[in-house]
Structure 1
Amino acid sequence: MEPRQVIGLFGQLSGFPTPVGAHVTEEQLEEVRIYRLWGQSDLVRGSRLRFSQQWTLIADSNNHRTIRTVLPPGTCVLLSSRSPVQHLRAVLKDISGHHLLEVWDHHGLTKCFNLTTLNNHGRVYEDAQFGCLSWSLCENKLLYVAEKSKNSSGEDLDGESGDRSVYWEDWGEALTNKSVPVICAVDLQNDTVAVLQGIPADVSPGQALWAPDSQSVFFIGWYHEPFRLGLKFCFNRRSALFRLDLDGSCERLSGENLSVSCPRLSPDGSTLVYLQGAMLGPHSQCLSLQQVLMMLDLSSRRTSTLLDVVSRPQPGEFAGVYEALPSCCWSADSQKVIFSSAQNSHALFFLILYRSSGKMIKFADLSDPSQVYGSWKLLTVQRDLMVVSCSSPNTPPTLVLCVPLRFSVFCPPAVLDFGAVLVKPSRPLGETRTPLVVFIHGIFMDFWCCWVNYRGSTGFGQDSILSLIGQIGNQDVKDVQRAVLTALQTHASLDSKRLAVIGGSHGGFLSCHLIGQYPDFYRACAVRNPVINAATLLGTSDIVDWRYTSAGFPFSYDQIPSAEALAAMLHKSPISYAAQIKAPVLLMLGGRDRRVSPHQGLELYKALKSRGSPVRLLWFPEDGHSLSRVDTQEDCFLNTVLWLKQHL
């Protein structure tokens, strides 16, 4: 395959739009409107686009589930939120460096605020970690999160006189320049924008929403003392649920030394649910679903556990919650919570029924086993209509509109097990035996691909996740190797002499371990920002806590590296096996990676070069840990395909 053909294929595959968000309105009995936000890569611009579409589904008068007409897409937007009753639309736009907040109704633009020229704060947050655009139930107020102004009242953030050289901590990888967020309230009746006061000084607020009385705000606060740890992909940071009155009084509603996220208020304002997990430890863990019942007012609230952490799921049992709740997850009657989560090697969505007392009475799997999709991700629930993104390894994301009338029997998970997904080409390749690519943390054409969810992955219970602590470089490596051997033994058409391994981050860590521990087994390797030496990574990563935890050592903020800990980190790292590596290695490194320093890959590059081992290094100076720039992804895809073609 020529490079031009490879790039053409990448353009085709990367051009599939990916669902980002959705909103549903029911204008009348026979008409339903779906507003859908998509993300899509554009190779010509070299950037990632966001656009919205609007579908108007007009049902047959005798059957309200039969679509008679689908109207064409609407106009493009960036970030938007719709009010619950009047369906007013708030839109945040970035135009020539200015953040504009617009409010639209059915007739057109009704309000526009230039948030930049108001100079109340810095840039508005649009990330999923802190960002929000939340309507009050009275639909006269909006909330959003922005960076605190460094020049407010003529002072810097710490209240001292200005100094351009002062170092300001931020929240790490992919959250650069996000340091001190503030919650901002927009009063649409008085046309005012105010920064809310009273948030504890040691807390960074985000994910804010209005309380039912519209006179107070719920938010998640992440503690940033004594210093900030990276938040991207890390749902284990110390945080709490707070309530802030507009007069400035603030109280914590959740427990101490926990990690919480995703507060979601029921339509009738009686119940608030949120996710809760352990502080520190693995980045992604099994979470509990908590609820705050507000009886007559906020002062008489009661907090309880709706779904607990699942340690080791038994046959026929639910395997746990591992993912964020959709922005709208309540049924119209405020009696059901609907969500999606990883279950074994699939993502399914589920329904919880409970009485107003808070006691759960039924749990059900809503995904349709007759469909070809392996993954069902719930995007929103509104007026009991569910918008779901469905996909599988050979099917791009598809939008599905569901009505929760029927549900199937839950599929029993395995007990402290792990799984793998094996994907083969859709057409014969003209060969009797085919190469296999082991894809860790991440399909390539003309190869079979094996994706492995080793023990420690989400979807198999909390015990499975915790089993990896102190066992990195051993248990996870053996799990992957066992999956590959099983695939070879099960499928005679696979060529055991042409095996390659690909991975990024910890997947890159495992890939390099595999070619080092099994040097005569694999014939090629391609890795993106791999962890090579955990000991030398200790002082450069934004998630220093994981470096200790993964090696089996407790973490504390005041920890000083010991010889024992550094020796263990080195022993568990791929660099210990570098002298045994025979497979050609392709390294792809981001110069601005703050999660895994690019010097990790450079360390392996020099070790291999010094021994005359075949190695190639691709350097992307403007990219970070995810190597997510469109031009970077195109370059990585092309070079990886050519590397595999050359060596397999």
Structure 2
Amino acid sequence: LQVWDNSGRSHSVDLMALGKHREVYTEGPFACLAWSHSETQLLYVAKKSWPKRRSPSCHAQSPVSGAAGCGADRAVLQGEQFMYREDWGEALSTRSVPVLCALDLEGSSLLVLEGVPEHLSPGQALWSPDDHSVVFVGWWHEPFRLGLSDCSNRRLGVFHLDLASGHCELLSAEHSAACSPQLSPDGWRLLYLEGGLGGFHRQCLCMLTWQTRQTVTVLDVVREPTEAFAGLYRETLPPRCWAAETRRADLLLVDTEAATVTNLTAGSTEGCWELLSLQWDLLVATCSAPHRPPSLVVAVLPPAGQELPLRWVPVEDVPTVPGVTWKTLTVQPPCSGKSPAMHGTQAFEALLLSPPDGTAPHPLVVCPHDGPHAVFDARWRPSMAALCQLGFAVLLVNYHGSLGFGQASISSLLSHMDEQDVADTQLAVEQALCSETLDPHHLALLAGSHGAFIALHLLAHEPERYQACALRSPVSNLPALLGTSDIPNWRYTFLGLPYTFVRVPHAEEVATMLLCSPIAQVARVRTPMLLCGGAWDQRVSPTQALELYRVLQAGGVPVRLLWYPEGGHMLAGVEMEANVFGNCACWLLWHLGQ
């Protein structure tokens, strides 16, 4: 760890050499790096250091002879060597038991903080106003752990740990999912996000007054979105999100006293904004769009009540990418009364990326997102822009259940997956074909995880509609995921059933899951298919892709399986992502005759 100031490097510490912990967590839900207010100590999270195993120096004697000592030690050591230790699932397989660590730069000492209860995994820590205690987020890991990646609905809370006494107290609600604490500059208020346990994703913004420990909800869950505000849908708050007067916070400017929201990017032509920091009333953000890579912008926050219009100043000039245009399509379901859910008649959105009009009509690549509670926002996505430059139009579908459109829309998808999400995606395709210059005879599907689940259902429902398909980490057999996924609870939520840690599947539940699974209808699929699977995927077992590959191959469907030995669920990493994209693009080009 290196510390730099205006005159250069002031400190350099080899943390591993101190022998107090293992690797430092620099990313993921636990990671943090927080200065004390005196700027003499640093707080961070690392992997717990287990006692080193001592190799026996003598030969083990037969236990029949009654000899103790080395032989007995060897037996214990061998047992510990293969002891199973739980981790936090997909993309967090190296995260097992984190510990809070405080580095004293003046005294050159490192302390692993004591007092964190054994049933908690700590992270997202920061110093209290007096530097005599810390605030941290604790994840419960009893009776066993469920995957954390993209799952903000686990049981976790905001805690206060007194360093002198070791006393630890819970600041947030007892049974909730509270995270991302951020202390105001004057130390009087603590903001954090809070949602419900299990089921679908939902969040509100809470504020705790430090001295009185009184908590109020600043922004509650939004069931029906308005033009001004559709709700909070983020995993963490920005590291610095408070205005100087300690009343206003974030890029969607929230007045924590009046509980009002002001959109500081109102009127902007860019698609997606992200706040990086707010300090001394200087806002630093990035903005991007499907045809423009991210650029850095800054603005000075005016006094309360005078925020709009806000003048954003670009720090750098990032040109648009040639050959890519985009628009938002509003998809209106027909009022036929056949909708599977109450929100099925409400409009939803899709993003359409297109090549220049001179090359129309364009072949169309349809992309339902994974999750299913995720969203295609209007940010820069290099792979989608590259498809446009290859001559494809790309339709990114935000079916009912996507984040950002109110809690009622999210809730409407429960018990209606494989119906509502599939119907919405196909409806978005049909309306796009009617309103845009697209080629209805050259259609393809490109998706991953739950998006692949939707794509497989579309292929089974209309075997002749699509000419090519490329899928990453496909969900095809729901019952098979009960014992192989890091989120077995989601299989019950999928059906609208409650989940408990002691729950085991019943025959009728397994039967229902199988009937909802694409594998049950895959015999109808005739579309050429490329499958991509990661051998280390803990979210959706790669055996799902393998089973699908074998069934399609036996049925005479053109199919190819790419198997990535080091790949996880997202097949992330520069080389892997490039390989996946290159193969998918070539597959689509070949089978669409481009």
Of 349, 364, 382, 2:262 maps to 364
- In structure 2, what is the equivalent of residue 124 of structure 1? 24
- In structure 1, what is the equivalent of residue 128 of structure 2? 211
Match for 2:192: what amino acid? Y
Alpha-carbon distance in structure 1 between the residues aligned to 2:519 and 2:49: 44
Alpha-carbon distance in structure 1 between the residues aligned to 2:198 and 2:28: 20
Matches within 5 A, 1:210-289: 210-247=127-164, 248-282=166-200, 285-289=201-205
Match for 2:261: what amino acid? F
Match for 2:215: what amino acid? T
- In structure 2, what is the equivalent of residue 435 of structure 1? 363
Distance 1:631-1:316 versus aligned 2 partners, 3 A rule:
closer
- In structure 2, what is the equivalent of residue 464 of structure 1? 409
Post-superposition Cα deviations, 1:232-264, rounded to whole Å, max 9, x if no partner, equal 111111001100011211001111221111100
Q: Is the 8 A contact 1:551 1:572 kept in 2?
A: no
Secondary structure of 2:152's aligned partner: coil
Matches within 5 A, 1:246-395: 246-247=163-164, 248-282=166-200, 285-295=201-211, 300-313=212-225, 315-323=226-234, 324-339=236-251, 350-355=252-257, 359-360=258-259, 362-369=260-267, 371-395=268-292
Post-superposition Cα deviations, 1:516-555, rounded to whole Å, max 9, x if no partner, equal 1221211111000010101111110011111111122211
Structure 1 residue 635 displacement after superposition: 1.3
Matched, 1:188 2:105: yes
Structure 1 residue 408 displacement after superposition: 6.1
Distance 1:261-1:161 versus aligned 2 partners, 3 A rule:
farther
Alpha-carbon distance in structure 2 between the residues aligned to 1:404 and 1:437: 42
- In structure 2, what is the equivalent of residue 525 of structure 1? 469
- In structure 1, what is the equivalent of residue 308 of structure 2? 407
Match for 1:331: what amino acid? A
Number of aligned positions between the proteins = 515
Alpha-carbon distance in structure 2 between the residues aligned to 1:384 and 1:320: 24
Of 514, 524, 527, 1:570 maps to 514
Alpha-carbon distance in structure 1 between the residues aligned to 2:113 and 2:578: 43
Of 453, 458, 477, 1:514 maps to 458
Matches within 5 A, 1:522-561: 522-561=466-505
- In structure 2, what is the equivalent of residue 62 of structure 1? none
Q: Is the 8 A contact 2:478 2:513 kept in 1?
A: yes
- In structure 2, what is the equivalent of residue 79 of structure 1? none
Alpha-carbon distance in structure 2 between the residues aligned to 1:577 and 1:408: 54
Structure 1 residue 136 displacement after superposition: 1.1
Post-superposition Cα deviations, 1:431-451, rounded to whole Å, max 9, x if no partner, equal x52211102227113111110
Matched, 1:490 2:435: yes
Alpha-carbon distance in structure 2 between the residues aligned to 1:640 and 1:610: 22
Q: Is the 8 A contact 1:500 1:523 kept in 2?
A: yes
Post-superposition Cα deviations, 1:449-480, rounded to whole Å, max 9, x if no partner, equal 11011111100111111111111111100111
Match for 1:459: what amino acid? G
Alpha-carbon distance in structure 2 between the residues aligned to 1:113 and 1:244: 26
Structure 1 residue 317 displacement after superposition: 4.4
Q: Root-mean-square deviation (CA), in Å? A: 1.9
Structure 1 residue 128 displacement after superposition: 2.7
Post-superposition Cα deviations, 1:162-185, rounded to whole Å, max 9, x if no partner, equal 510100000111111211100001
Secondary structure of 1:261's aligned partner: strand
- In structure 2, what is the equivalent of residue 91 of structure 1? none
Post-superposition Cα deviations, 1:34-66, rounded to whole Å, max 9, x if no partner, equal xxxxxxxxxxxxxxxxxxxxxxxxxxxxxxxxx
Match for 2:485: what amino acid? S
Q: Is the 8 A contact 1:336 1:354 kept in 2?
A: yes
Q: Is the 8 A contact 1:366 1:404 kept in 2?
A: no
Alpha-carbon distance in structure 1 between the residues aligned to 2:44 and 2:356: 46
Q: Is the 8 A contact 2:228 2:261 kept in 1?
A: no
Structure 1 residue 316 displacement after superposition: 3.8
Match for 2:129: what amino acid? P
- In structure 1, what is the equivalent of residue 349 of structure 2? 419
Structure 1 residue 647 displacement after superposition: 1.2
Alpha-carbon distance in structure 1 between the residues aligned to 2:353 and 2:246: 41
Match for 2:224: what amino acid? R
Structure 1 residue 354 displacement after superposition: 3.6
Structure 1 residue 189 displacement after superposition: 2.2
Q: Is the 8 A contact 1:553 1:565 kept in 2?
A: no
Structure 1 residue 485 displacement after superposition: 0.6
Alpha-carbon distance in structure 2 between the residues aligned to 1:496 and 1:569: 33
Post-superposition Cα deviations, 1:603-623, rounded to whole Å, max 9, x if no partner, equal 111110111011111111111
Secondary structure of 2:216's aligned partner: strand
More strand by share: 1
Q: Is the 8 A contact 2:136 2:158 kept in 1?
A: yes
Structure 1 residue 153 displacement after superposition: 11
Alpha-carbon distance in structure 2 between the residues aligned to 1:606 and 1:408: 59
Alpha-carbon distance in structure 2 between the residues aligned to 1:212 and 1:254: 18
Segments of structure 1 that go 5 or more residues without pairing to the other structure are 1-100, 155-159, 340-349
Match for 1:396: what amino acid? P
Q: Is the 8 A contact 1:373 1:392 kept in 2?
A: yes
Structure 1 residue 368 displacement after superposition: 4.0
TM-score (normalised: structure 2): 0.84
Structure 1 residue 207 displacement after superposition: 0.2
Post-superposition Cα deviations, 1:302-346, rounded to whole Å, max 9, x if no partner, equal 111111011122x4441100012111100011111114xxxxxxx
Matches within 5 A, 1:595-614: 595-614=539-558
Alpha-carbon distance in structure 2 between the residues aligned to 1:112 and 1:611: 62
Alpha-carbon distance in structure 2 between the residues aligned to 1:565 and 1:407: 54
Secondary structure of 2:114's aligned partner: coil
Alpha-carbon distance in structure 1 between the residues aligned to 2:308 and 2:547: 52
- In structure 2, what is the equivalent of residue 107 of structure 1? 7
Structure 1 residue 565 displacement after superposition: 1.4
Alpha-carbon distance in structure 1 between the residues aligned to 2:11 and 2:428: 57
Structure 1 residue 367 displacement after superposition: 0.6
Alpha-carbon distance in structure 1 between the residues aligned to 2:587 and 2:264: 42
Match for 1:497: what amino acid? H
Quote the sequence identity (%): 46
- In structure 2, what is the equivalent of residue 138 of structure 1? 38
- In structure 1, what is the equivalent of residue 569 of structure 2? 625
Structure 1 residue 421 displacement after superposition: 0.6
Alpha-carbon distance in structure 2 between the residues aligned to 1:404 and 1:216: 32
Q: Is the 8 A contact 1:173 1:230 kept in 2?
A: yes
Match for 1:311: what amino acid? R
TM-score (normalised: structure 1): 0.77
